Structure 1
Amino acid sequence: MEVEAVESNALRGAADRRTSKRDRRVFWACIFILANNCFQYTAYFAVSTNLVNYLKDRLHVGSKAAANGVTNWLGTSSITPLVAAFLADAFLGRYWTIALFLVISVVAYAVLAASAAAALESAAFYAGLYLLALGGALQPVLTSFGAGQFDEADEAERRRQSSFFNWFYMSINVGSLVGGTVLVWVQSSVSWGLGYGIPALLSVVSVAVFLAGTTTYQSHQPPGGSPISRVAQVVVAAVRKCRVEAPDDAAELHEYEADDGMSAIQGSRRLAHTDQFRFLDKAAVETAGDKARPSPWRLCTVTQVEELKCVLRLLPVWASGIIFAAAYTQMTTTFILQGDTLDPYVGGFRVPAAVLSVFDTLSVMLWVPLYDRVVVPLARRATGHDRGFTQLARMGVGLVVLTAAMLAAGTLEVERRRVIARHGMYDTNTGADGAYLPMSIFWQVPQYVVVGASEVFTFIGQMEFFYDQAPDAMRSLCSGLSMTSFALGNYVSSALVTVVARATARGGRDGWIPDDINRAHLDNFFWLLAMLCIGNFGVYLLIARWYTYKKTVD
């Protein structure tokens, strides 16, 4: 008995040492990934935040053309992550995709810095700018790579993985804070050459940091081939077998009874069969013709079919993020229009309305540790869920919180209009110095803070949800898909402003959003956005109730 006890203790001690060594490796891998991400976004926001002024001041582009140039570039930057994500999932793997695109971003920043320092023609600057839109498209791949460092079979590591998403988003906001303030000041007050040279240096540092962590990284997911081909094969096979009846017993489907938990897709776990979208099950029904002429375009595995089902289930959740993004983007549009009329002075120091977005960033930086260290443990005790909230519940909370931000903005607008009624109006188009309402711009701070809180729940929840619920071999691609809802939300916001402005200005009226914002009814526009958020939340509840979480065959 004593010998057995000694052997048991020795085995336990060896296991503890292996666990401790693995924990240290994961910790340092995450440190390198988060530091790399922070340097990347510091450089990125240094360029994007002040881009409109560079186009106007250095390239002598008109205001409208400069605004369109920025929005076109931002739109491109929201789509290109799908390119990097596809390459990572299909061919290169996450590590080599990150390394390749980091090098591209270094070249892009070098071109931008040289263009700014030497006052080169606009063609060179735009070449660097759109090269950056490609090279900087790493968020979905880097998110998946970082989350992939954790063993999802271990409950403790799953908790740490959930925490990783919080700190990943925190690193983005730290970069936003430094790049969007300090480096923008350098551009405006020192020189454009230095203001673009520092981001170029930071891009080199980000590459060095990522490569320095190579020995600590562990990738659990090799490239599995083109996910687009696999999805197309399921659709084609199901259509070919439209007259074939899917069996009631899923065990009769192809690959259902494989010996281990791995599927035919390289490095991907098998997915458990679900009853939704039963028509697609026909693609996994084996017929006599399939035995005679085997082809992936005629017979697919259960996991292939479930991959497509996973994507189809994600789409309604993805769509619910569009309205959220449309309301969120008011922070960079109508919030600033509202703030431009308020008193920006603190003593003799002027605070531009656009700078107030720093309170959104600070709110995120406050809420991330608060959520991770306080909210989750309390929620865990109440719900019994290892992550505190389910991912869908977390995103739903953010939808409600953003509604509160729109209500706060509307309430401030009502009070602003009352001040106008008491003190008279001025034309905001005249740009007269000191022509501000006797109302401090800092009354806007609460709405920015509430927007930041909604980000921590919804945006981070989306990052975690789309990674966790995506098939193993499509995680980068699905993470990239979640980002496109933000791009569409910006387009929806622009369309909404245009439609509302025209519809409410009929009959010679000023309408809700005229050029002179003091004649506007922005309060009505904020109420409209709040109602859209409430309606979106109602639809989201139905989606969340319908949704079936992914299950793997272990």
Structure 2
Amino acid sequence: MAGAERGEEAALEQGLLAPEEPNQLIYTGDGSVDFSGNPVVKETTGRWKACPFILGNECCERLAYYGISTNLVTYLTKKLHDGNASAASNVTTWQGTCYLTPIIGAILADAYWGRYWTIATFSTIYFIGMAILTLSASVPVLMPPSCEGSFCPPASPFQYTVFFLGLYLIALGTGGIKPCVSSFGADQFDDTDPAERIQKGSFFNWFYFSINIGALISSSFLVWVQDNVGWGLGFGIPTVFMGLAIISFFSGTSIYRFQKPGGSPITRVCQVVVASLRKWNVHVPEDSSLLYELPDGVSAIEGSRQLEHTDELT
């Protein structure tokens, strides 16, 4: 009993426990830090305080993405006078690129920049791409002349270049947002706290709800605007929402929890493969605590968190 009291007093002296609530941790237990790199106070950061900014960012970004992709074939055929086969091929290639670029964003986030700066940087690229796309549909010199009877003059190489520059900047931008936003939202909940671990599951429900709200507005209202009002406005509205997404994201900076980059995931995957081959015949101890890479259960890679042992893949 006396030993427990001495341990509690030591923790109080180090600032790990609140004086008025000796058993309540002040700081998170998962290694998260604030924007300046200092340990974060549980009560004033993360959790649902930070989530509205992240959910707002995701909702606006998905609205912008689907506001472009849903009706893109129609724009290519009606405004750029592209053939049906060519338009479908261009849209498919662009969408495929949107699903490949997250590999770039994930590696940069995990190894170098962290999720916050990856989202911030690629959101800016995304917004620039949206602005260029809006200009290409609004400025007469960037659009081919209207059809005269059955003759529809094709877009010039310059007009194509401007349009596809904006389109592929969007593809690059989504590559930094798609793999990081959900993970950054999960970072706002401390895995070592059972209550916050439950709240994290609820966050993912709201996260996917935000995605569907953005997609719903795009697939209904924005498509109607593009077909009946004009493509300049139809692309301009998602551009404005992308700007709002960036503002929403930066607004929560002071209360976010950050995880430090843990090194290149490619390097770590290779390490696992090499270690598995080298230890093919090693006897697995019955005590799972001995399976950590270091005796104290701390990862050798700074910023990474240990995974619990499981028998599922034996």
Shorter-chain TM-score bucket reads: 0.7 to 0.9
Matches within 5 A, 1:18-167: 22=43, 25-119=46-140, 120=142, 121-137=159-175, 138-167=177-206
1:248–1:238 CA distance, 2 compared to 1 (3 A): closer
1:11–1:173 CA distance, 2 compared to 1 (3 A): same
1:191–1:248 CA distance, 2 compared to 1 (3 A): closer
Q: Do 2:46 and 2:188's aligned partners in 1 also have CA atoms closer than 8 Å?
A: no
Instruction: Provide the C-alpha distance between the structure 1 equivalents of 2:283 and 2:25, rounded to a whole number of angstroms.
Output: 47
1:11 maps to amino acid: E
2:215 is aligned with 1:176 = yes
Instruction: Provide the C-alpha distance between the structure 2 equivalents of 1:52 and 1:110, rounded to a whole number of angstroms.
Output: 19
- 1:53 Cα deviation after fit: 0.4
Instruction: Provide the C-alpha distance between the structure 1 equivalents of 2:90 and 2:61, rounded to a whole number of angstroms.
Output: 22
- 1:234 Cα deviation after fit: 3.5
SS of the residue corresponding to residue 93 of structure 2 reads helix
SS of the residue corresponding to residue 222 of structure 1 reads coil
Question: Which of 229, 240, 249 matches 1:201?
Answer: 240
2:47 is aligned with 1:11 = no
Matches within 5 A, 1:318-467: none
- In the alignment, which residue of structure 1 is the partner of 2:149? none
Instruction: Provide the C-alpha distance between the structure 2 equivalents of 1:21 and 1:158, rounded to a whole number of angstroms.
Output: 13
2:267 is aligned with 1:229 = yes
1:156–1:273 CA distance, 2 compared to 1 (3 A): closer
User: Identity, % of aligned pairs?
Assistant: 48
1:27 maps to amino acid: W
Instruction: Provide the C-alpha distance between the structure 2 equivalents of 1:34 and 1:257, rounded to a whole number of angstroms.
Output: 36
Question: Which of 233, 241, 256 matches 1:217?
Answer: 256
2:197 maps to amino acid: R
Q: Do 1:250 and 1:273's aligned partners in 2 also have CA atoms closer than 8 Å?
A: no
Higher relative contact order (CA 8 A, sep 6+): 2
- 1:238 Cα deviation after fit: 4.8
1:235–1:95 CA distance, 2 compared to 1 (3 A): same
1:105–1:270 CA distance, 2 compared to 1 (3 A): same
Instruction: Provide the C-alpha distance between the structure 2 equivalents of 1:13 and 1:273, rounded to a whole number of angstroms.
Output: 31
1:150–1:188 CA distance, 2 compared to 1 (3 A): same
TM-score, normalized by length of structure 1?
0.44
Q: Do 2:293 and 2:300's aligned partners in 1 also have CA atoms closer than 8 Å?
A: no
Q: Deviations over 1:11-40 (max 9, x none)?
A: 349959999972775222100000111111
Show structure 1 runs of 5+ residues with no match: 1-9, 276-545, 549-554
Instruction: Provide the C-alpha distance between the structure 2 equivalents of 1:59 and 1:188, rounded to a whole number of angstroms.
Output: 15
1:50–1:236 CA distance, 2 compared to 1 (3 A): same
- In the alignment, which residue of structure 2 is the partner of 1:495? none
SS of the residue corresponding to residue 89 of structure 2 reads helix
- 1:206 Cα deviation after fit: 1.0
Instruction: Provide the C-alpha distance between the structure 1 equivalents of 2:242 and 2:275, rounded to a whole number of angstroms.
Output: 46
Instruction: Provide the C-alpha distance between the structure 2 equivalents of 1:45 and 1:257, rounded to a whole number of angstroms.
Output: 44
1:237–1:13 CA distance, 2 compared to 1 (3 A): closer
Instruction: Provide the C-alpha distance between the structure 1 equivalents of 2:209 and 2:168, rounded to a whole number of angstroms.
Output: 26
SS of the residue corresponding to residue 52 of structure 2 reads helix
1:88–1:24 CA distance, 2 compared to 1 (3 A): closer
1:247 maps to amino acid: H
Q: Do 2:44 and 2:255's aligned partners in 1 also have CA atoms closer than 8 Å?
A: no
- Which structure features the higher share of helix residues? 1
Instruction: Provide the C-alpha distance between the structure 2 equivalents of 1:173 and 1:147, rounded to a whole number of angstroms.
Output: 19
Instruction: Provide the C-alpha distance between the structure 2 equivalents of 1:214 and 1:252, rounded to a whole number of angstroms.
Output: 38
1:51–1:42 CA distance, 2 compared to 1 (3 A): same
- In the alignment, which residue of structure 2 is the partner of 1:266? 302
- 1:274 Cα deviation after fit: 5.0
Q: Deviations over 1:276-333 (max 9, x none)?
A: xxxxxxxxxxxxxxxxxxxxxxxxxxxxxxxxxxxxxxxxxxxxxxxxxxxxxxxxxx
1:152–1:192 CA distance, 2 compared to 1 (3 A): same
- In the alignment, which residue of structure 1 is the partner of 2:283? 247
Show structure 2 runs of 5+ residues with no match: 1-18, 29-40, 143-158
1:109–1:216 CA distance, 2 compared to 1 (3 A): same
Instruction: Provide the C-alpha distance between the structure 2 equivalents of 1:161 and 1:237, rounded to a whole number of angstroms.
Output: 32
Matches within 5 A, 1:469-508: none
Q: Do 2:55 and 2:207's aligned partners in 1 also have CA atoms closer than 8 Å?
A: yes
Q: Do 1:112 and 1:196's aligned partners in 2 also have CA atoms closer than 8 Å?
A: yes
Higher Cα Rg, which structure: 1
1:56 maps to amino acid: T
**RMSD of the alignment, in Å?**
3.0
Instruction: Give aligned pairs, total.
Output: 267
Q: Do 1:251 and 1:257's aligned partners in 2 also have CA atoms closer than 8 Å?
A: no
1:154–1:92 CA distance, 2 compared to 1 (3 A): same
- 1:232 Cα deviation after fit: 1.7
1:222–1:238 CA distance, 2 compared to 1 (3 A): same
SS of the residue corresponding to residue 269 of structure 1 reads coil
